[in-house]
Structure 1
Amino acid sequence: MKSLSWLVSSLMVAGSSVGTAWATDYQVRFAEGELPAVSFEQQGEQLQAVVSLEKQRYPIFIEGSGEDCAWGAAPDTKVRFSQPLALEKCGETALELNIRFAGDYLLTLDSSAKPLTVSVARQAKKSTFKRTPPAVECIAWDGQPVTVDVSSVFANGEMVKDFYSGETAKVAQGKVTMMPAPESGGLLLLEPAGAKASEFHWDNASVYFVMTDRFYNGDESNDYPLGRRADGEREIGTFNGGDFSGITQKLDYIKELGMNAIWVTPIVEQIHGFIGGGEKGSFPFYGYHGYWALDFTKIDPNLGSEEDFGRFVDEAHKRGIRVLVDTVINHVGYPTMLDMQNAGIDAIPKNAPVPENWHEWQPRKERSENWHRYNDYIRWNHGDWVEKWWGPDWVRSGMGGYTKPGADDITMNLAGLPDLLTESTKHVGLPPILKNKPDTNAVEREGYTVLDYLVEWHTRWVRDFGVDGFRADTVKHVEPEAWLQLKESATAALAEWKAENPDKKVDDAPFWMVGEVWHHGVYRDFYFDNGMDSLINFEYADASDAVRGAQCLAQNDAIYQRYADTINSDDSFNMLTYISSHDTKLFFSNYEDIPLQAGAGSALMLMPGGVQLYYGDESARPAGPLTDAFDSPTRSLMNWEQLDKQPERQALLKHWQTLGQFRDKHTAVGAGQHKVISEQPYAFSRVKDDSRVIVVYAGQRQ
């Protein structure tokens, strides 16, 4: 009997429009009838299936649901591996796969081809090597009920509830004995039975960080505006379809995670064209992430309309979720050929090998060109760059006629990006690229500096839509006074919006701002005197602390004590701790261990101060393709399909939901005083005003 095992790639996000919407389901039928048919699944713009085949011949047909006959071999067809093979509709001849080496074979179907084509390629054998985290010492648990002294928080006779399992117990002689839920990882989350939710406080913030383009596609009609396009390959640097409508559709999911704030990547209109991606220019790279602005006054159409954005904010507020918008005032986006053509920058020689529509340029493989090659065709000292681009009053750049970049954090061209002159006191008009842009909302102001314009443009989203806060990008690359001006303006704008929209506001909390200062740890400095309420805490994820805490919660004892003593004893600052981000790494990709990911959730969600979940932390989102761009693996599509189909990921999600809801309910978790009650089992209390909880960790199950 011939053996057949198969698996289908599950990286395609349900609802995403990375590729074609397939009207027909296809399958491979083995002509001899001894093997079951194998279905194709969508992967990017193609349909793919992986089958394990033995050494022999396999006659096959391709069948589509709703089609009255199969696709067979076209006349004179001979299978050449890794080459598209034309098929014939209602062909009577089977396509014969002559397998000489047993193994896994990838079948790729392209229905956009006329006629239909299929290609077959042998897959390289995957390594079975799996990294394991370094072993840590941990207290042991025998799997029996746990007794803990709770007298410092709960009174004798008081009923206490384990939030995780829902079980209750009465405090007797200052103690309770309870059994951790099997799926809790040895946790008890103790609260007063019948406890009500605390009032929200930013010191206990739980922020869900969404890279909008990679999260969920709620509107396929906006997938490729402004001349943007798919690359037909791995789509790692292209827009993938996520939008505000998609986030809106998933707000209940985010609310169920216990999140009380959403941070979205920058919303403003990005450069229209592409640059070369990675060190080797191996792919076209668009501004899908939002950090390469072209027009700060417009919503990027790939993300939706202003109406879509307003609906998202309103619906989030209805669920008690605050909205943070990522804000960039340090730089603008790179120059691209498409934007040059739109702006009339005639800086490409007439004889250059560039098509009439510049955005259609592609590297010529026969000449071993890569996606960086187009830069060689551009005359960077051409006068049009001064007259028609941003202009030397607005940015510093290495191009002719511009202020040259400096060597310090404030005046450098970070990653080669044009640096905005936020420190300039010169009164300026609009930059040429916006002054001549027909659809901009930018208005020239008398007596404005560059910073004045940027502050007006960014606070407009607060004043018009009720945005609750900013995540400030590249903070150390902008002078502190600029952030203070932005914060003060945004604070006034939000107060104005709340006064005009009392039925839409979540609460009366003031505008909030968290900053990214690369590699900043848990300490207070001058940034908090210049607009920042919080900073992102890099130290927990940078070190091995997160891995140790994920394996054994008791390993976090010193961290919890230090963070609580540092942050919660000073109301003038806070920190936002994370385990994964778009610029660093995915925690799950280190070891691809779902139980470890659950432990990471326990350790993070019980952290003093604020916490940030990067989309997919809760679902063990796999990393994207490894490329010569360091950050592309961290920006993979949200793994909705895996969540739908895999019980182990559904259980992981439930674990994160329980922890998130517990944290959201009790302000003391993030903002309370931390006190260790017991070393074995490891137990600590968190108390702030009327909010009081005890967390018990029984230890590693023996």
Structure 2
Amino acid sequence: MRFPALPFGLLSVLMSPALLAATLTIEPVEPENRTVIQAEFTDGLAEQALEKGSYRLHVQRSGECAFDLGGSPDTRVRFNRPIPLTACAEAPLELKVRVPGSFTFTLDAQAPSLTLTFTPQKTASTPFRRPLPETQCNVWTGGPVTVDVQSVFNDGEVLRDYYSGHLAEVVNGQVTLTPAKGSNGLLLLERAEHQPSAFSWDNLTVYFVMTDRFHNGDPSNDHSFGRQSDGKEEIGTFHGGDIRGLIDKLDYIEALGANAIWMTPLVEQVHGFVGGGENGDFPFYAYHGYWALDYTRLDPNFGTDADLRELVQEAHRRDIRLIWDAVINHAGYATGQDLVDFDVDAFKAGERVDNQWQPSAGQTWHSFHDAIDYNSTAWNADWWNSDWVRGSFPGYEAPGGDDLTMALAGLPDFRTESSEPVGLPPILLDKADSRAMTTQQTVAEHLIDWQAYWVREYGIDAFRVDTAKHVELERWSQLKQAATEALRDWKSDNGDQALDDSPFWMVGEVFDHPLYKDYYYDAGFDSLINFEFQEAAHELALCMNRLDETFQRYANTVNADPDFNALTYISSHDTTLFYAKYQSLELQKRVAAPFLLLPGGVQIYYGDESGRPLGPYGDDFHQGTRSDMNWEDIKDDRAELLNHWKILGQFRNRHVAIGAGTHRKISDSPYVFSRQKDDDSVVIVFAGNEAQ
């Protein structure tokens, strides 16, 4: 929404240095008998802590009218959005404070407008966290536990509790051990002489990182292509995480027992921003990696070819596989900076948007669209042309209404169904550093070749396939075949770096897909992401006794079929964080065993192990799930939480039976079960939640 232009005389007054002496008057309405607050603006900013209640706001300057800048009677006060102000207003703004906290008031003299941001007051009386639901569960008070293990181990065998390191001999089919303090009543029993199992995709533990938000190993690459910070909450900007940061943290990931790393896409992204959220409250760059521009180059924000080569070498040295995020459904949005960088003549006369652009008064970050001519013929001539994508441009095939032809989130939809050979799209044809070959192939063949390049050149071990239900099934079979051949070639040329002779592996994202085997497994997929567990995870974590039906069903479903697997998670970038619901480190600790002891594959989302909280998200909740890794918070209680996840993760990685074995319940109280796969056997005991 645009506001009326101000008369030149008034504009001059508002822009004068006298504005720096403006005062924000905050008049309490209820509860009554509170003092009127006057906060001075400094360089356009004023801060004030406010208690719960109703207030009237207006801006005053010496010698001006009573309500120099105030609201019209119907003005609504919203946070993080400019609120239009009226000169010599008859009424102040009305503000209702429902949660006490600190308010920042930003005055824009040219608009004129006032923007409010809010930080909650962290007091004992502020209800930030839901209380954990009451539950009936065994409580372990610290004493020894006797366990019947005769169905798994023989008399005379010496067992180790991997959590505490304590040993006990099996006598009359039983062992007696005391769970370690801090274990939450767990015993993790294995033969004392056990040697770690060989790697198996059936016992996969993936550590999934939003690369940009994990760790900044090379600050010199943080602003490639002129990308900007917004100086505010940085909801949708690049934060600096990169491949070098992953290399720096490989020992940390290895210590979690993870045997694979899934990285968000690292290829070159669109250079500029779009508007973030429904209201365009923040600039939204492609920090997440899913808006590709050139699939054959790394994005310099993420690092160099040498960085990637070192990452593969160092990960493989630690017996960790790398999972590449493959996106062939869509390209990235058209941003103003890309139109500038690639000479796409699609700006309206006299307009230009690049990464220096800022919304002016009455605009949002969506307003950059106003400068662009979407009816221009330049799209077909200079961008992804109509041979390559569907879109709402002149001469393009319009997106359809089904999964295969829709423009997901308005993104340019690749015409992967086409059987017509095409050359490179104009945007890549003249791109000097692109590795894209100019051969005539179908769109899908180009895209598949671009993905297979990273396998053949660097030895990537697996793909996580994005948006699998939005591309024809036969394309995934073709991708799997191309990647399998590429990995075979790499291993042939790099025998000293190859971990084993395992074939290429592929897991698919079919949004909302629960745990069952269907036709995707006939189209090249070894596994699919399991979307069903997260919903039940909070309840199951309250008491591990409740898990047996789930454990049994997963083992019977997944491990009875050698060609079926699933990748289960409790947090993700597209749903929510497990920690966010209750913000309870106790529950974050309780969930580790039910989750990491699941049959099939599991995916840890960075920070599950450290209670990483939600970040700022404006009106787009998913942005909050992509907060910076909370490295500086990992101390005291969080350090204990991390240690708990490490022990369980390492135990899982030592035993192929956990993810790939048969499951058998031994007793209900204490809850005891076994997992067995060939010559690998474990017994897990849950004596009850640890008394606080």
Q: TM-score, normalised by structure 1?
A: 0.82
| CA apart distance, 1:555 | 1.2
**Unmatched 5+ stretches in structure 2:** 1-33, 53-99, 106-116
CA distance in 1, matches of 2:336, 2:319: 43
Q: 2:479 aligns with which of 456, 477, 486?
A: 486
Quick check: 1:242 aligned with 2:241?
yes
Quick check: 1:154 aligned with 2:145?
no
Q: 1:409 aligns with which of 403, 407, 410?
A: 403
| CA apart distance, 1:386 | 0.8
CA distance in 2, matches of 1:82, 1:608: 59
Quick check: 1:597 aligned with 2:593?
no
| CA apart distance, 1:399 | 1.6
| CA apart distance, 1:489 | 0.6
Query: Partner residue of 1:669?
Result: 658
CA distance in 1, matches of 2:605, 2:40: 40
Equivalent positions of 1:279-298 (< 5 A) are 279-298=278-297
CA distance in 1, matches of 2:187, 2:248: 33
Equivalent positions of 1:97-246 (< 5 A) are 125-126=121-122, 127-246=126-245
SS at match of 1:296: strand
CA distance in 2, matches of 1:429, 1:285: 31
Query: Partner residue of 1:696?
Result: 685
How many equivalent pairs are there? 597
Specify whether residues 234 and 695 from structure 1 end up closer, same or farther in structure 2 by C-alpha distance, changes over 3 A only.
same
Q: TM-score, normalised by structure 2?
A: 0.83
CA distance in 2, matches of 1:653, 1:129: 23
The answer to whether the 8 A contact 1:683-1:697 is kept is: yes
Specify whether residues 99 and 690 from structure 1 end up closer, same or farther in structure 2 by C-alpha distance, changes over 3 A only.
closer
Aligned residue type for 1:505 = A
RMSD of aligned residue pairs (Cα, Å):
2.4
CA deviations over 1:462-494 (Å, ceiling 9, x no partner): 000000000000000011100110001101111
CA deviations over 1:81-121 (Å, ceiling 9, x no partner): 453499xxxxxxxxxx999999987999xxxxxxxxxxxx9
Query: Partner residue of 1:83?
Result: 42
| CA apart distance, 1:495 | 1.1
Query: Partner residue of 1:68?
Result: none
Quick check: 1:529 aligned with 2:522?
yes
Quick check: 1:428 aligned with 2:422?
yes
CA distance in 1, matches of 2:368, 2:274: 9
Quick check: 1:637 aligned with 2:618?
no
Specify whether residues 386 and 649 from structure 1 end up closer, same or farther in structure 2 by C-alpha distance, changes over 3 A only.
same
Query: Partner residue of 2:637?
Result: 648
Specify whether residues 242 and 694 from structure 1 end up closer, same or farther in structure 2 by C-alpha distance, changes over 3 A only.
same
The answer to whether the 8 A contact 1:139-1:700 is kept is: yes
| CA apart distance, 1:509 | 1.1
Query: Partner residue of 1:576?
Result: 567
Aligned residue type for 1:592 = Q
CA distance in 1, matches of 2:469, 2:479: 15
CA distance in 1, matches of 2:164, 2:104: 46
CA deviations over 1:56-99 (Å, ceiling 9, x no partner): 9xxxxxxxxxxxxxxxxxxxxxx95453499xxxxxxxxxx999
The answer to whether the 8 A contact 2:142-2:181 is kept is: no
CA distance in 2, matches of 1:501, 1:123: 53
The answer to whether the 8 A contact 1:609-1:670 is kept is: yes
Query: Partner residue of 2:384?
Result: 390
CA distance in 2, matches of 1:82, 1:313: 53
Quick check: 1:499 aligned with 2:495?
no
Percent of pairs with identical residues: 52
Query: Partner residue of 1:472?
Result: 465
Quick check: 1:562 aligned with 2:553?
yes
CA distance in 2, matches of 1:504, 1:124: 51
Aligned residue type for 1:676 = K
Aligned residue type for 1:405 = P
Q: 1:400 aligns with which of 391, 394, 399?
A: 394
SS at match of 2:207: strand
SS at match of 2:240: coil
Quick check: 1:616 aligned with 2:607?
yes
Quick check: 1:362 aligned with 2:361?
no
Specify whether residues 139 and 456 from structure 1 end up closer, same or farther in structure 2 by C-alpha distance, changes over 3 A only.
same
CA distance in 2, matches of 1:606, 1:424: 44
Equivalent positions of 1:213-362 (< 5 A) are 213-352=212-351, 354=352, 358-362=354-358
| CA apart distance, 1:529 | 0.7
Query: Partner residue of 1:547?
Result: 538
Aligned residue type for 2:365 = W
Aligned residue type for 1:363 = P
Query: Partner residue of 2:512?
Result: 519
| CA apart distance, 1:130 | 1.8
The answer to whether the 8 A contact 1:136-1:548 is kept is: no
Specify whether residues 124 and 630 from structure 1 end up closer, same or farther in structure 2 by C-alpha distance, changes over 3 A only.
closer
The answer to whether the 8 A contact 2:48-2:104 is kept is: no
Q: 1:658 aligns with which of 625, 644, 647?
A: 647
Aligned residue type for 1:337 = G
SS at match of 1:324: strand
The answer to whether the 8 A contact 1:381-1:401 is kept is: no
The answer to whether the 8 A contact 2:657-2:681 is kept is: yes
The answer to whether the 8 A contact 2:159-2:169 is kept is: yes
CA distance in 1, matches of 2:660, 2:571: 22
| CA apart distance, 1:142 | 4.2
Aligned residue type for 2:337 = L
Aligned residue type for 2:42 = Q
SS at match of 1:506: coil
| CA apart distance, 1:340 | 1.1
The answer to whether the 8 A contact 2:616-2:624 is kept is: yes
Specify whether residues 85 and 454 from structure 1 end up closer, same or farther in structure 2 by C-alpha distance, changes over 3 A only.
closer
Specify whether residues 424 and 691 from structure 1 end up closer, same or farther in structure 2 by C-alpha distance, changes over 3 A only.
same
Query: Partner residue of 2:18?
Result: none
Query: Partner residue of 1:457?
Result: 450
CA distance in 1, matches of 2:128, 2:305: 48
Aligned residue type for 1:485 = Q
CA distance in 1, matches of 2:619, 2:413: 25
| CA apart distance, 1:502 | 1.1
Specify whether residues 431 and 122 from structure 1 end up closer, same or farther in structure 2 by C-alpha distance, changes over 3 A only.
closer
Specify whether residues 132 and 124 from structure 1 end up closer, same or farther in structure 2 by C-alpha distance, changes over 3 A only.
closer
| CA apart distance, 1:627 | 1.4
Aligned residue type for 2:143 = Q
Specify whether residues 626 and 360 from structure 1 end up closer, same or farther in structure 2 by C-alpha distance, changes over 3 A only.
closer
Q: Which runs of 4+ in 1 moved over 6 A?
A: 97-108
Aligned residue type for 2:358 = Q
Query: Partner residue of 2:437?
Result: 443
The answer to whether the 8 A contact 1:685-1:693 is kept is: yes
SS at match of 2:225: coil
Query: Partner residue of 2:579?
Result: 588
CA distance in 2, matches of 1:441, 1:670: 40
The answer to whether the 8 A contact 1:208-1:254 is kept is: yes
CA deviations over 1:271-316 (Å, ceiling 9, x no partner): 0010000010000001000000000110000000111111111110
Specify whether residues 122 and 346 from structure 1 end up closer, same or farther in structure 2 by C-alpha distance, changes over 3 A only.
closer
Specify whether residues 435 and 152 from structure 1 end up closer, same or farther in structure 2 by C-alpha distance, changes over 3 A only.
same
Aligned residue type for 1:499 = S
CA distance in 1, matches of 2:514, 2:382: 42
CA distance in 2, matches of 1:555, 1:382: 60
Query: Partner residue of 1:37?
Result: none
CA distance in 1, matches of 2:618, 2:224: 26
CA distance in 1, matches of 2:249, 2:392: 43
Quick check: 1:686 aligned with 2:663?
no
**Unmatched 5+ stretches in structure 1:** 1-54, 57-78, 87-96, 109-120
- 294-303 or 498-507: bigger deviation: 498-507
SS at match of 2:591: helix
